[in-house]
Amino acid sequence: MPPRSEEPRRDATGSRRGSSRGAEPREPGVGGISDARAYTPRGRTIREGGAEQRRTPRSSRSGDPFRPALQVLDGGRAGRAGRREPAPAGEPARAGRRTTTPGGRAGVVRTVADRSAREPFDDEDEGPPPRRRPGPRRPAARRPVRKPRRPPRLGDAGRRLRLGTVLALTLFASIGVRLVYLQTVDTPAYADGGLPNRLAVVELPAPRGAILDRAGEPLAHSVEARYVFADPTRVKDRFATARLLSPLLGVPASELADKMRKRTLPGTDTPSQFVYLARGVEIGRAKQIMALDLAGINVHRDERREVPGDDLAANLIGFVSQDMNGLEGLEAKYDDVLRGQAGKRTYEVGLGDLAAPIPGGYSRTTQPKPGSSLRLTIDRDLQFMTQRILAKQMAQAKGSVGAAVIIDVPTGEVLAQASQPTYNAADPGKVDSPSDRDDAATTFVVDPGSIHKAITFGAALQEGVITPNTTLPVPNVIVRGGVPFQDTHKANGRTMSIPGMLAFSSNVGTIEIAEKLGKDRLIDYQKRFGLGQATGEGLPGEAPGRLLPADQWSGSAWGSVPIGHSVDATPLQMAAAYNAIANNGTYVQPHLIKETVGPDGRRTPGAAPTTRSVLSPANAADLRRMMEAVTTVDGPDGSATGLAAAVPGYRVAGKTGTGLRYDNGKKQPGEVGSFIGMAPAENPRYVVAVFVWSPGGGGGAVAAPAFREMMGYTLRHYRVPPSLTDKSPKFEVFPR
């Protein structure tokens, strides 16, 4: 028999088979290498296999070629050469059975059933089995079953894995939600966080609308220009810089040097870095300034208001500030229409030397909205000639103030409205007095005098108090309220016709007719003719005038009101009243605005003028025919007051007047001479009103000749044919 080997057998991995030295005992069923070895590839345990061997004959067991490989050797030691037979029934189970290994070595085969007899797979090596003495076999002693020690309870790995997974997913979900929130909700806030530091803003100015005449010719319009400014903190030598800029800007060098003096902003310690040197500089001149490359001097886009005619309609147009805000005249009245809305371009730029737009960066442009233009009813050529004639005639009366208005009869459009003195609207600061910029036609409040008599006679005709054939005895003087009223042309009590009263401007005859009319009806017709309220022509600051209420009439008012005293009116109001007579008795509100032209070219007509009936067409025609006596009567009894206003070739109806001027309720020295007329009298086309106030008198000598020239030019300008077939009627001043 070969000797028993002392070395344990090793498996294919090199480890000792059956040895569990140093390992903690494992609880059956929990897991371990011993349990893994206890199961065969066929899914049966050794115990099951042993039971099957006991039921199967030896011959069939020995024929299984895999059986030796499925056995577990006891420590790898050789057992007995022979096999132990299974214990007889009733005999206690032995610790093991001897068997022979394929290598011929004998060993003890442990089965699962053996575990009940001893501690399964002890760690210490078993020595060689003791020799048995011959004799009867004693049953093997049952070793006490020792309960295996339980390992320390550890956490469930699966639970820890699930918990960790949940925590990780929660963390990633929170991060994802936050990222989505930042990318969607808070994106503008974070994206724009540093944007202001990278933005550049360029203003896109909107041109101011133009003021045009009735033919579309510009009376005032805006052109592109430049303004020159200085940064005093960067100017190296302000005196040398001023000397270079002075001839280009037309500003004294001392004034420029003072502007460039270093100073701080009001109320702060911050140094001022901007000061205007000049506004509205021509582009060519600005290029010359930039070519000098002066430190601290720069230019920027500006707008300049140009008035091609200088003083042409300046008192109507007004002027604007350097910031293009209307200050006077139509520029102020319609500033919201003329002024455009500036736009701007905001874009992202690089920093430092790369201060240029960033392609694809932030950019937003608000387009400017140019202002609308005003097309007036003014005729530029007629306005020019009206101003020229008025200035020439007024040169005879020093220190005088004059106004002239020309109205298109059927429409009420103001074709010309001149004031004297006037000024250059392009340089409004160069005037002797701010009042020189006023529009005299709407702000010059006068006591109209005898031109008011046409209203009195018109009311009497309409109310049937008189007829064209009425005659009255007219004394030289009449007293009302203790105040004597007398005529310049003495009637000496003779009977005078209505045309004669108009021709010689009889105060006494007019007062007698007004007494038959009554003060209430006279006041009513004054209002119908447009007195006592502003016409609403369109100019700012228009005076409304004033009428004396009936309850305030004194005794003398019966004499003064009918002849145009104790009445405040403007030249435009009186011109509009005469236009009603010329327009067959229909009053038409005088107006200056013909239409508004939007920046897109769309035209919006001006507001329709107010109209109302004052006289019947027949009475208006009778009144016009009687008023022709003012410019035609010239006989042995005297000449009419308006012969100087006659226009050769045309029938003219009108009236002269001599009134007073009041300023803040105080009577001013001198007198106001006036003439208002219409032509052709048989079918009036135009009304011309001329007023001249002269402190030294003589205004009457100016008004009538000025009217003649203005009306003559107007009729020729619009090619009105002369009154060749219709001759002026013959009038009897003192019928027999």
Using CA atoms, how far apart are residues 246 and 622, in angstroms rounded to an integer? 68
9 within some domain: no
- In the block, which residue shows the tokens 């006036």? 674
pLDDT in tens, 388-415: 999 999 888 778 899 999 999 999 999 9
**Residue 352 sits in the same domain as residue 488:** no
**Residue 391 sits in the same domain as residue 263:** no
571 within some domain: yes
**Residue 371 sits in the same domain as residue 397:** no
**Residue 340 sits in the same domain as residue 410:** no
**Residue 491 sits in the same domain as residue 536:** yes
Among candidate residues 385, 439, 376, 443, the one with its CA nearest the CA of residue 408: 376
What is the predicted pLDDT for the residue at 97? Answer: 47
**Residue 315 sits in the same domain as residue 393:** no
Q: What is the per-residue burial (b if ≥16 Cβ within 10 Å, else e) of 335-351?
A: bebbbbeeeeeebbeee
What is the predicted pLDDT for the residue at 273? Answer: 82
pLDDT above 70 covers a percentage of the chain that reads 77
pLDDT > 50? residue 605: yes
**Stretch 368-388: mean pLDDT:** 94
- Name the average pLDDT for the chain: 81
Strand partners, 212: 218, 375
**Stretch 315-327: mean pLDDT:** 88
Using CA atoms, how far apart are residues 21 and 12, in angstroms rounded to an integer? 19
**Stretch 648-655: mean pLDDT:** 94
**Residue 470 sits in the same domain as residue 327:** no
Using CA atoms, how far apart are residues 363 and 360, in angstroms rounded to an integer? 8
pLDDT > 70? residue 77: no
What is the predicted pLDDT for the residue at 396? Answer: 80
Element (H, E) at 161: helix 157-184
92-96, 372-376, 486-490, 568-572 — which is least confidently predicted? 92-96
126 within some domain: no
57-61, 444-448, 688-692 — which is least confidently predicted? 57-61
Domain count, the chain: 3
pLDDT in tens, 297-306: 988 888 888 8
Most confident of the ranges 303-312, 344-353, 426-435, 704-713? 704-713
pLDDT > 50? residue 189: yes
Confidence (pTM)? 0.71
112 within some domain: no
151 within some domain: no
CATH number of the domain enclosing 312? 3.90.1310.10
109-118, 347-356, 365-374, 502-511 — which is least confidently predicted? 109-118
Using CA atoms, how far apart are residues 646 and 636, in angstroms rounded to an integer? 19
75-79, 136-140, 272-276, 416-420 — which is least confidently predicted? 75-79
**Residue 230 sits in the same domain as residue 348:** yes
**DSSP-based three-state secondary structure for 571:** helix
**Stretch 159-167: mean pLDDT:** 87
Model confidence at 468, in pLDDT bands (50, 70, 90)?
very high
What is the predicted pLDDT for the residue at 60? Answer: 46
Residues 6+ apart with CB under 8 A from 455: 525, 526, 529, 531, 577
What is the predicted pLDDT for the residue at 138? Answer: 62
What is the predicted pLDDT for the residue at 615? Answer: 96
- Sign for the pseudo-dihedral over CA of 462, 464, 468, 473: negative
Among candidate residues 198, 202, 26, 187, the one with its CA nearest the CA of residue 120: 26
More confident call, 34 vs 243: 243
**Residue 358 sits in the same domain as residue 414:** no
**DSSP-based three-state secondary structure for 677:** strand
Using CA atoms, how far apart are residues 495 and 469, in angstroms rounded to an integer? 12
Using CA atoms, how far apart are residues 192 and 189, in angstroms rounded to an integer? 5
- DSSP letters spanning 69-122: GG--BSTT--B-SSPPPPPPTTSPPPS-EEEE-TTS-EEEE--GGGGGTS-TT-
What is the predicted pLDDT for the residue at 73? Answer: 45
**Stretch 500-507: mean pLDDT:** 94
Q: Percentage helix, strand, coil, to 5, in the chain?
A: 30, 20, 45
Looking at residue 670, its amino acid is G
**Stretch 182-190: mean pLDDT:** 72
Strand partners, 134: none
The runs of H, that is alpha helices, within 260-306 are: 283-291
723 within some domain: no
31-45, 226-240, 249-263, 316-330 — which is least confidently predicted? 31-45
**Residue 359 sits in the same domain as residue 468:** no
Q: Say if strands 106-109 and 275-281 run parallel, antiparallel, or are unpaired.
A: unpaired
CATH number of the domain enclosing 636? 3.40.710.10
Model confidence at 342, in pLDDT bands (50, 70, 90)?
confident
336 within some domain: yes
Other beta carbons within 10 angstroms of residue 435's beta carbon come to 12
Q: Say if strands 414-420 and 275-281 run parallel, antiparallel, or are unpaired.
A: unpaired
**Residue 362 sits in the same domain as residue 391:** no
pLDDT above 90 covers a percentage of the chain that reads 44
- DSSP letters spanning 582-624: HTTTEEE--B-EEEEE-TTS-EEEPPPPPEEE-S-HHHHHHHH
**Residue 372 sits in the same domain as residue 439:** no
Domain that holds residue 269: 201-376
Model confidence at 348, in pLDDT bands (50, 70, 90)?
confident
Other beta carbons within 10 angstroms of residue 713's beta carbon come to 20
109 within some domain: no
**Stretch 203-211: mean pLDDT:** 85
- DSSP letters spanning 470-507: -EEE--SEEEETTEEEE-SS--TT-EEEHHHHHHTT-H
Model confidence at 117, in pLDDT bands (50, 70, 90)?
very low
What is the predicted pLDDT for the residue at 448? Answer: 92
